[in-house]
Structure 1
Amino acid sequence: MTSETLKPAPRRLNHGLQRMLGRDNHEQGRAATPLELLYDLAFAASFATAGNLFAHGIAEGHTVPAIIGFGFAMFSLVWAWINFSWFASAFDTDDWLFRLLTMVQMAGVVILALGLPAMFESIDHGEVLDNRVMIAGYVVMRVALVCQWLRAARSGSRYRTTAMTYAVFVSVAQILWIVIAILPLTLVFALLGGLVALLVEIAGPLVAESRGAKNGTATPWHAHHIAERYSLLAIIALGEGVFGTIAAVTTVTTEYGWSFDAIVLVVVGMVLIFGMWWVYFMVPAAEVLHVHRERSFPWGYGHFFIFASIAATGAGLHIVAYTFDEHYHVSDVTAVLAVAIPVLIFLLTVFTLYSYLLRTIDAFHALLALASVAVLAASVVMAANGASISVSLLVGMLAPVVVVIGYESVGHRHAAAHLDRIEQDAPAPH
């Protein structure tokens, strides 16, 4: 054997075009790429924009329009992110065309974010919904993804039908969105039209993957990779809570200097964010999805409530800042509710996803859920009965802490037992 035969294969340092043949869904060491992390940063900025508009609307007393606008914005952003992330988990080639089309999608995110103020304002005024710029950005994202699906369809015969199904459904949905943007629709009719387009969007993955599961052509997404992708976006969204904490503390210190309230807000913000992070990672999503891929849809789409509630928690901390700003008249109860409600949605969604993935309604975890609800309710009741906002928030921040303590002391044993039962069905490595 010559030394020449022992030379390692040449490294691939360029990014020439490759066929999209599908990734190995058992690939060892599969992790998020630098491009995916860069892509997520565009969404982080958009979450912040939506959160700021939401907080400002609440502070101005326009609660219902703010909630509608925030929900519309978050759904558009999260849905587009979900679709790209699952596609990339299955077909990422990291060639120059994949990178450029990802850049186009990032540009679409920026355009969508630029359209959010006009959309929020039109909802607030109750006139024709001005979602033209927002939809333009969304369509840019989706058209770029259609190009990726067409590449996957053209690259090989195995996933051709599945890829074309995605491409067709996404394309039809974009036509509907464009029609909605062009027509001068009021909010009600725009939402009804959006519901139709949304149903088309949702039908695409359901039809494509259900057909693919029957004939072995479902997209080859990687369970551990996709779980990591979701967790990274959750962490990025939690950064909005850090910004909210900084905004609240800055407002207090600017008006009154460092005080008890300022110190409490630092503690509340950090404990809430850290506690929510800890709770999120209690769910063994990767391990379960690796064995039961069919459980991916409710888990994946259920994260809309995870991401939206995390972003809304950060916005709630912004609203707390407005209670110390003399230019706004935000009551303590409103501010506490603005934090408590999204934290409640987050915790209940995590418990729901945990129970769904592990196929169990664990009595102890149900007790923890009820305890966290009771803590959050107590914080609101205290604010309504004259307790200071600082004391009320100190109580509310204990909601995720209760869950963490319960899980780390007892609950982890229950989770391990359920996971051991599931992993007995794990496919043999190949």
Structure 2
Amino acid sequence: MTTPPSSASRFRLIPMAPRDPHEQGRSASMLELFFDLVFVVAVSIASVQLHHSLTQGHVLDGLVAYGLVFFGIWWAWMNFTWFATSFDTDDWLYRALTIVQMAGVLVLATGIEPAFTDADYTLPILGFVVMRLAMVAQWLRAARTDASIRRTAQVYAGGIAAVQVLWLLQLTLPEVPGLISLVLLIGVEVAIPVIAQRRGTTPWHPHHITERYGLFTLILLGESLLASSNAIIEAVHDAEALGRLISIGALTFVATAALWWIYFWPPHHRSITSFGGSLRYGYVHYFVFAAAGAFSAGIEVEIDVLTGHSELSNPTASFAVTVPVAIFLAGTWWIAIRDHADRLVNTAVPLAAVLVLCDPLIAVPVTLTAVVLVLVVVVLVLQPPAQTGCGPAS
């Protein structure tokens, strides 16, 4: 029998029983919002380093480093988010372990620049291990409380702990084998939830989970707004490129606002009503999140091209904008829109993802992207909400 969450032990700890997935009024806690602030730092540094790599012409190396570093950021964030929706007790030990994870994020963030410049992933891996070991402690605590999820929690704890040993051993490998092992270990990491949940599914609160994903999306889109303002700032100091910089700043703002509109149009909570749906929603968000972060880097690359500070040509630089936008659109459509929209919307959004890739053919950067995104928003506005919940998510 599960101990009621309200009854505290003599150590002032609340038993970590699964929370009610139908709990009324469940929303992000102040601790979760504080947790997200640390990730702002890591995301910002990753975006800046991607921008530098692309501007210097190190496209492949920059994309590989960005993909690996962003995995560490996203995976640690996502694992905490799904755990919190099931077991958040908000007592002192839960808070302390969460703060340990935040410290791990800062260690990871410190190592992002060496990862890009020297392919040195030592600090990102150490920070990642700190975050994951804190999750091991959380899962062991959950395993002690409720027999119905004990086996699941034990598999999570054991699997995560074992992989962290492998991450530390990876640091001893030479560069090429080390890079290959990074990819393999990422595959093992993403397999742990699939294996563990087969032992028994932990409960999740659909509205709480999708709110958490929405808040992280806002963080990433905020990076694009920063890039938009940077274009205006550069325009003040560069009279020759004044008109083009102001143009790209305004178009970036429009495109970012449109991406926000498109992402929050569907009822996201309806996409995670099954375990398979939750896996798709959770895992595909890696590409949505990474694309949103890369979009801001692409805008900065465009600014560098316009001001003569980039090794890239105009068309190549434009792809740094259009590819992330296309991935963001396609990912959002697949995980949240396609099952809750009519044929017109399900044609417009994927078609838009294809059309924005044509932007490099346009003389003014980001123009076609902004126009296409605005047209998608018009389609969404004109479509009446369907009985299945189309329209803005409540």
TM-score by length of 1: 0.84
Q: Show the counterpart of 2:371.
A: 398
- Would you identify which runs of 4 or more consecutive aligned residues in structure 1 move more than 4 Å? 355-358
Q: CA deviation at 1:249?
A: 2.3
- Confirm whether residue 381 of structure 1 aligns to residue 361 of structure 2: yes
Looking at structure 1, the residues matched to 202 and 350 of structure 2 have their Cα atoms a distance apart, in angstroms, of 38
Q: CA deviation at 1:374?
A: 5.0
Looking at structure 2, the residues matched to 97 and 40 of structure 1 have their Cα atoms a distance apart, in angstroms, of 19
Of 222, 226, 229 in structure 1, the residue corresponding to residue 209 of structure 2 is 226
Q: CA deviation at 1:41?
A: 1.1
Q: Show the counterpart of 2:102.
A: 106
- Confirm whether residue 324 of structure 1 aligns to residue 290 of structure 2: no
Query: Where do residues 11-410 of structure 1 align in structure 2 (5 Å cutoff)?
Result: 16-123=12-119, 130-186=120-176, 189-212=177-200, 218-256=201-239, 259-289=242-272, 291-354=273-336, 357-358=339-340, 362-373=342-353, 375-382=355-362, 387=363, 391-410=364-383
1:310 corresponds to which letter in structure 2?
A
Aligned length: 382
Looking at structure 2, the residues matched to 332 and 350 of structure 1 have their Cα atoms a distance apart, in angstroms, of 28
Q: Higher Cα Rg: structure 1 or 2?
A: 1
In the alignment, is the contact (CA less than 8 A) between 1:252 and 1:321 conserved in 2? no
2:346 corresponds to which letter in structure 1?
A
Percent identity over paired residues: 35
Assess, with a 3 A threshold, how the Cα gap between structure 1 residues 408 and 356 changes in structure 2: closer, same or farther.
closer
Looking at structure 1, the residues matched to 314 and 256 of structure 2 have their Cα atoms a distance apart, in angstroms, of 21
Looking at structure 2, the residues matched to 370 and 86 of structure 1 have their Cα atoms a distance apart, in angstroms, of 29
1:153 corresponds to which letter in structure 2?
A
Looking at structure 1, the residues matched to 338 and 280 of structure 2 have their Cα atoms a distance apart, in angstroms, of 8
Looking at structure 2, the residues matched to 404 and 180 of structure 1 have their Cα atoms a distance apart, in angstroms, of 46
Looking at structure 2, the residues matched to 355 and 258 of structure 1 have their Cα atoms a distance apart, in angstroms, of 39
Per-residue deviation, residues 138-190 of structure 1 (Å, max 9, x unmatched): 0000001111111111223222111111001111111111111122332xx22
- 320-329 or 138-147, which moves further after superposition? 320-329
Assess, with a 3 A threshold, how the Cα gap between structure 1 residues 43 and 105 changes in structure 2: closer, same or farther.
same
Looking at structure 2, the residues matched to 286 and 314 of structure 1 have their Cα atoms a distance apart, in angstroms, of 27
Q: CA deviation at 1:247?
A: 2.1
Where 1:182 maps in the other structure, the secondary structure is coil
Q: CA deviation at 1:339?
A: 0.8
Q: CA deviation at 1:65?
A: 0.4
Q: CA deviation at 1:257?
A: 7.7
In the alignment, is the contact (CA less than 8 A) between 1:320 and 1:335 conserved in 2? yes
Per-residue deviation, residues 87-110 of structure 1 (Å, max 9, x unmatched): 011000001111111111011011
Task: Give ranges in structure 1 of 5+ residues lacking alignment.
Answer: 1-9, 124-129, 213-217, 421-430
- 367-376 or 18-27, which moves further after superposition? 367-376
In the alignment, is the contact (CA less than 8 A) between 2:287 and 2:328 conserved in 1? yes
Looking at structure 2, the residues matched to 190 and 363 of structure 1 have their Cα atoms a distance apart, in angstroms, of 46
Q: CA deviation at 1:121?
A: 1.2
Where 1:397 maps in the other structure, the secondary structure is helix
Where 2:147 maps in the other structure, the secondary structure is coil
In the alignment, is the contact (CA less than 8 A) between 1:132 and 1:182 conserved in 2? no
Looking at structure 2, the residues matched to 406 and 37 of structure 1 have their Cα atoms a distance apart, in angstroms, of 33
Q: Show the counterpart of 2:3.
A: none
Looking at structure 2, the residues matched to 374 and 178 of structure 1 have their Cα atoms a distance apart, in angstroms, of 41
Q: CA deviation at 1:201?
A: 1.4
Q: CA deviation at 1:294?
A: 4.1
